[in-house]
Chains A and B, each alone.
Chain A
C-alpha cells in the first residue's frame, strides 16, 4: 500500500519552461490537494479537487493549473515557470473527517 506517490522527487527548470507534477493515491479517497511549502511558512493550498471531476482554487493558485485525471490521479502544471515558484510541492489525499495523507514531495528549483 503506497499511499500517495509523487513524481518526480526533484526537478530543476529554467525560467519560462513548463512541467507537470504527478500525484497518485491508492486509498480510494475522493479529495486531493496540492500544496506548496516554503521556509518558515505553513503549507499553502494551491488547488484542490473535492471529488472526481471538480477542481477549485486555493490560497495561491496563480501560475498553476491542475487536472483531476481520474479518482486516483491529480496533476499540477506550471505553464511558464518563474523563480518565485521554487518550492517543495506536496500532494495530499483526504477522506472527509479524517487527516490528510501526504506524499513525500517534489523539490522544484527554477533558475
Chain B
C-alpha cells in the first residue's frame, strides 16, 4: 500500500542550531501535505502545511519544502529551542477524507 515514511527516527540538535526533518511519500496523487508536532502526553498539533502547487512555504521559524520529483518533504526549524523537543510527523492527503500519517521523528534539543 501507499505510505508516508521518515528517513531518521531520532534527531539530536544543539539549541540554537537549525533542524531538518525529512519525509518520503509514495502516493504521487497526494496534493496536500501537513507537518504535525506531538509532545509527550498530547495529541498531534498542526505546524504547517503545503499544497502540491507550491515548492516552499514559510511560517514562524518553520519552513516546509516539497520536492515532487523525488516525492520528498522536509521540515526546517530555525534556531531550535528546548520547547521544540517532540515527535514530528508528516501526513499526506489526496483531497479525500483520508490522511496517511508517517511514524514520526523524535527531535531532542540539547541545551
Contacts and interface: CB of A to CB of B under 8 A. Distances in A.
Interface residues of B, number: 22
A42 B104 contact: yes
A91 to B, nearest CB: 9
A104 B42 contact: yes
A96 B97 CA distance: 7
**A interface bracket (residues with beta carbon within 8 Å of B):** 20 to 34
Interface string A76-105: 000000000000001000101101111111
A102 B89 CA distance: 14
Interface string B66-98: 000000000000000000000001000001011
Interface string B16-57: 000000000000000010101000011111100100000000
B41 A104 contact: yes
A48 B98 contact: yes
A110 B4 CA distance: 29
B101 A102 contact: no
15 contacts: A31-B97, A42-B100, A42-B102, A43-B44, A48-B98, A50-B97, A94-B97, A96-B95, A97-B95, A100-B46, A100-B99, A101-B46, A102-B45, A105-B42, A105-B43
Given A94-B97, A104-B41, A105-B43, 19 more contacts: A4-B43, A35-B101, A40-B103, A41-B103, A42-B3, A42-B4, A42-B100, A42-B102, A45-B98, A58-B98, A97-B95, A99-B34, A99-B36, A99-B49, A100-B99, A102-B43, A102-B44, A102-B45, A103-B43
